[in-house]
Amino acid sequence: MTGPISDGSTRSGNSAARDLLDPRVRALIDERGFTDLSEAQQRAIPPLLAGKNIVLIAPTGTGKTESAMFPVFNALLSEGGTGFRALYITPLRALNRDILGRLEWWCARLGLTVGVRHGDTPQNVRRKQALSPPDLLITTPETVQALFMGKRLRKHLEGVRHVVVDEIHELAGSKRGAQLAVALERLREHAGEFQRIGLSATVGNPADIGRYLCGDRPFTLVEVPVAKGLDLAVRFCGSEFSKQTRCVEEMIDAEDSSLVFVNTRVTAEALGHALIERGDVEVHHGSLSKEVRVDAEDRFRAGELRALICTSSMELGIDIGHIGHVVQFGSPREVARLVQRVGRAGHHLFSISRGTVLATGFDDLLEALVIIRRARANEIEPVRPYTNAADVLANAVAAIAVEYGEIPFSRALTIVQRSGCFAGAEDLLRAVCEQMVQHRLIRLEGEGEALRIVTTGRARTYLSANLSMIHDERKVPVFDIVTRRTVGTLDESFVLGFVQTGAVFVTKGQLWRVLDFEEGRLTVEPAKEAKGELPSWEGEQIPVPYAVAQEVGALRRSRDLAAYTDNADAMGYAERYLHEMDANRTPVPTDRLITLENADDGVVCNICAGHRANETIARVLSILISARHGTTVGIESGAYRAMLRLPRQIRAADIRDLLLATDPSHIGGILRLALRRTALFKWKLVQVAKKFGAIDADADYERISLHRLLQTFDGTVVQDEAYSELFRDYMDVEAAGEVFRAVQAGEVAIHIGPLSVLGADGLSSSRDMIPPPTADQAVISTLKRRLAGDGVVLFCMHCKNWKSRTKVERVPDPPQCPLCSARLVAALKPWEEEQIGIAKKKGKTAEEHAFEDRMLKNANLVLSYGKTAVTALAARGVGPDTAARICAKAKEGDAFYREILKAERNYVLTRRFW
């Protein structure tokens, strides 16, 4: 029998499951002080002791690790054997460390050996494990791949009888997970069938996760509802950051220990900065060093900290001691994320996990209410296992070829098809193998039934650089033209997917406007806008699902807030907001009404469809408008609206016509054509090609021609996979098609009107916290300090015998030659010094005469304006002509520096055309 089987539990008493365990394990349970087993442990232990594969879904803190490991300990004590006898796989090295600390105590007392192995494991420890393997190896998916590459380690894998995959929901929906699924089937070739155990706190489709883990093998589902252990509340804390900070502080002060979850590292840093003077609050996120994170965890565990402000870095089950309360700052965007985060509170058997969502706006509040309702009803989003990913298959084929030297195609097909991620993949495998032959990763020899996959010398080199399916992503430096300094870095994906000249984004707590992206560097200036896009780090920008956004639309329509909350402040705020919309005679967009609003710079499309669907809709509309009107369309999308930045002649009625006329079945094709020549598609194509071994892992993205890429991979599995990944990760073609279909069927109405409060306020509701604009005075002060410290070379154009290297701040006013007392002194940039000799030459070329003329203009300007001219001439891209205009327009004060800033900005924007 295949597929899920109910555990058939009658929820037998605590002693029944415990009594099935080995007396030595029972004695340690008593010694550890476990007076009772949790429901998860009671229900999981019997089927595990019977050797069944299981997927255990249970809240954080209910002892899932022990649920799996008590029966595994039991088996290891009775089975005997050599090599690695059990693998415990987690998605994070930090979890490896945490699990090792928890299991060492048990293993030491049971006479079992335990070790940990990942990318940072020292070579001497690896060598020891190869010579004397531990009974239990704690590792990561990537290190599992490496275990197959050594002959001695492969021999040790023959002893594996149990594999535990912890936090399986984190892996199943990614290419890392698909790679692991194939690795388990490769392990089956060495070890025979072994017991598979998947552990997860939150997943909406456990049967699919079971099939991902076990393929066609039978498995047992043990599911302990998460909702009954949660105490959830919402509180509205206002849209001003100062009020939000006070609200967070009140929540922290009400408990001995709290985790404050935020959705991005920018918000974590901003809140941390606001609360750092307390001394009992620390920030914890993935951009911080391991040492800083571990120190914060240790201090929290020791009671030295009252709160950690954290991102998803603390979602998984790292043990940091007692957590009294979880505060979620802003909507968590997904039910699974809320459940996972709030589940950290209590974190002891039989305790209730308490969590409060602090809502910061109208969209945020309604979204939080919907997510809390869905959490209480256990309506958790499904995790979609990654199926038939061509680059994962290419990686697996290379690994199998290296492992065996050569292998029949039919056997390789059997291995990959047994996994839950590549069922029915014969045609895909053939296409992938043919692509790999072109890149000399494998050879195909023989025909028909005798077809064999043969390794090449290049395959092992490829594998050593591609053990992981996590894409390598460069960091793009952000260079501020005011300070002439790098102020931070952004992910390449964010830069290529969002950044364009004029775009405004937030990093380092400030707003910046993009001036240029060239040679791998983003050049920016401080921006004065009140809003900007938050930069993307890996794993951030949590998208609101279609189902959640639709229910928010239904709540707007029914206005039945009492069915969702009894919090008077929250209800009062939402009701006042809706009343204001009514008073302005502005229809409220809902799940059954789309409103298209004409704004000064485009059209706001209010659609309750979630991030990915709205991104898809906005891209399709922008493509069709561009094709019809020959104009560029800027897009900005969120969970409840999309902004189309358009020429004034294109209005909301044009958008309505496109929604009514576009065939939903054409959406995918339209997107493929339009994405083909974008930087985002090029970036994804390069990433996939690297995983295929078609491009070297360290190849420079910028030096690769898009035209050449498109020619090389047109019509190949590499191109298809790039499209597939873009569609899966960034868009929802199916949901977008449903919106078009519903509009055309009359199930969703369209209203056209002017920009509403909701349309205007909500444009940044999908972003977390937008810091206040940078003060103009601060920008001017920074520019003054930078120019004062800039180097300058003074040269006398009268006697031509004196020059001096100095800084602008040290230049006397007016500058004067100490040899001839003349004031005809040129102020040159340091890199112009080598050309001073031109002024002394007798016979000059036309080009040299032109340079001398520029030096004379420069000196005359200094003669006229003194040190003011020297300051202007020190600015980036400012020559004598521009400096003359600046000095004539504004000789002193902030206005003078604003003119310099304007000139520097213009230089950055136009230099490529010079």
Phi, psi of 401 (to 5 degrees): -65, -45
Of 196, 226, 256, which marks where a domain is finished? 226
State the DSSP code for 587.
Answer: P
> Is the pLDDT confidence value at 266 over 80?
no
Mean pLDDT across the stretch 610-636?
A: 89
Are both 371 and 401 inside the same structural domain? Answer: no
Cα–Cα–Cα angle for 262, 263, 266, nearest 5°?
85
Report the percent of the chain where pLDDT is more than 70.
89
pLDDT of residue 479: 85
Class of residue 176 by CB neighbours under 10 A (exposed 0-12, middle 13-18, buried 19+) = buried
pLDDT of residue 766: 37
Q: What is the rounded (10 degree) CA torsion for 708, 710, 714, 720?
A: 130
Cα–Cα–Cα angle for 300, 301, 305, nearest 5°?
20
The answer as to whether 470 is a domain residue is no
* Cα 691 to Cα 497: distance, rounded to the nearest angstrom: 20
Are both 214 and 312 inside the same structural domain? Answer: no
Are both 117 and 261 inside the same structural domain? Answer: no
Mean pLDDT across the stretch 827-836?
A: 88
Residue burial 215-230, b: 16+ Cβ < 10 Å; e: rest: bebebbbbbbebbebb
The answer as to whether 687 is a domain residue is yes
User: For residues 417 and 424, is the Cβ–Cβ distance under 8 A?
Assistant: yes
User: At residue 741, what is the residue type?
Assistant: R
* Cα 605 to Cα 636: distance, rounded to the nearest angstrom: 10
pLDDT of residue 477: 82
The answer as to whether 252 is a domain residue is yes
Taking only the tens place, the pLDDT of each residue in 655-683 is: 999 999 999 999 999 999 888 877 778 88
> Is the pLDDT confidence value at 189 over 90?
yes
Query: Residues near 275 by Cβ (< 8 Å), separated by ≥ 6?
Result: 245, 248, 249, 252, 281, 307, 309
The answer as to whether 664 is a domain residue is yes
> Is the pLDDT confidence value at 531 over 60?
no
H runs (alpha helix) in 845-879:
846-865, 867-873
Mean pLDDT across the stretch 527-543?
A: 55
Host H or E run for residue 476: strand 475-480
Are both 356 and 399 inside the same structural domain? Answer: no
Are both 274 and 301 inside the same structural domain? Answer: yes
User: For residues 260 and 307, is the Cβ–Cβ distance under 8 A?
Assistant: yes
Query: Residues near 863 by Cβ (< 8 Å), separated by ≥ 6?
Result: 814, 823, 824, 825
> Is the pLDDT confidence value at 430 over 70?
yes
pLDDT of residue 8: 47
Mean pLDDT across the stretch 806-810?
A: 92
The answer as to whether 561 is a domain residue is no
pLDDT of residue 507: 61
**Taking Cα atoms as reference points, which of 890, 882, 874 lies closest to residue 907?**
882
pLDDT of residue 295: 84
Confidence of residue 877 (pLDDT cuts 50, 70, 90): confident
Are both 739 and 888 inside the same structural domain? Answer: no
Confidence of residue 10 (pLDDT cuts 50, 70, 90): very low
Which is more confidently placed, 117 or 407?
407
> Is the pLDDT confidence value at 914 over 80?
no
Are both 249 and 317 inside the same structural domain? Answer: yes
Mean pLDDT across the stretch 854-880?
A: 91
Residue burial 869-901, b: 16+ Cβ < 10 Å; e: rest: bbbbbbbbbbbbebbbebbeebeeeeebbbbbb
User: For residues 567 and 233, is the Cβ–Cβ distance under 8 A?
Assistant: yes
CB atoms within 10 A of CB 834: 9
Phi, psi of 402 (to 5 degrees): -65, -40
Among 357-371, 511-525, 687-701, the minimum mean pLDDT is found in 511-525
pLDDT of residue 832: 87
Q: Domain total for the chain?
A: 6
Taking only the tens place, the pLDDT of each residue in 452-507 is: 999 999 999 998 888 888 776 667 788 888 878 777 777 766 676 666 667 776 66
User: At residue 73, what is the residue type?
Assistant: F
The answer as to whether 566 is a domain residue is no
Of 440, 465, 490, which marks where a domain is finished? 465
> Is the pLDDT confidence value at 379 over 90?
yes
Mean pLDDT across the stretch 398-402?
A: 95
The answer as to whether 533 is a domain residue is no
Cα–Cα–Cα angle for 236, 327, 570, nearest 5°?
15
Taking only the tens place, the pLDDT of each residue in 500-529 is: 667 776 665 467 788 877 767 888 888 765
> Is the pLDDT confidence value at 913 over 50?
no
Output the domain CATH number for residue 442: 1.10.10.10
Are both 188 and 238 inside the same structural domain? Answer: no
Phi, psi of 126 (to 5 degrees): -60, -45
CB atoms within 10 A of CB 240: 11
Which is more confidently placed, 269 or 155?
155
Are both 216 and 244 inside the same structural domain? Answer: no
Taking only the tens place, the pLDDT of each residue in 193-248 is: 999 999 998 888 999 999 999 999 999 999 988 776 789 999 999 888 889 999 99
Host H or E run for residue 94: helix 93-110
Are both 62 and 168 inside the same structural domain? Answer: yes
Mean pLDDT across the stretch 13-24?
A: 82
Taking only the tens place, the pLDDT of each residue in 63-87 is: 889 999 999 999 999 988 889 999 9
Domain ranges, residue 347: 228-376
Of 436, 465, 494, which marks where a domain is finished? 465
Confidence of residue 538 (pLDDT cuts 50, 70, 90): very low
Mean pLDDT across the stretch 91-107?
A: 83
Mean pLDDT of the chain: 86
The answer as to whether 568 is a domain residue is no
Taking only the tens place, the pLDDT of each residue in 737-770 is: 999 999 999 999 999 999 998 988 755 433 333 3
- Please spell the DSSP secondary structure of 247-305, one letter per residue: HHHHHHHTSSSEEEE-SSHHHHHHHHHHHGGGSSEEEE-TTS-HHHHHHHHHHHHTTS-
* Cα 527 to Cα 774: distance, rounded to the nearest angstrom: 7
Are both 707 and 824 inside the same structural domain? Answer: no
pTM for the predicted model, two decimal places: 0.77
Are both 907 and 820 inside the same structural domain? Answer: yes
> Is the pLDDT confidence value at 388 over 80?
yes
Mean pLDDT across the stretch 81-103?
A: 86
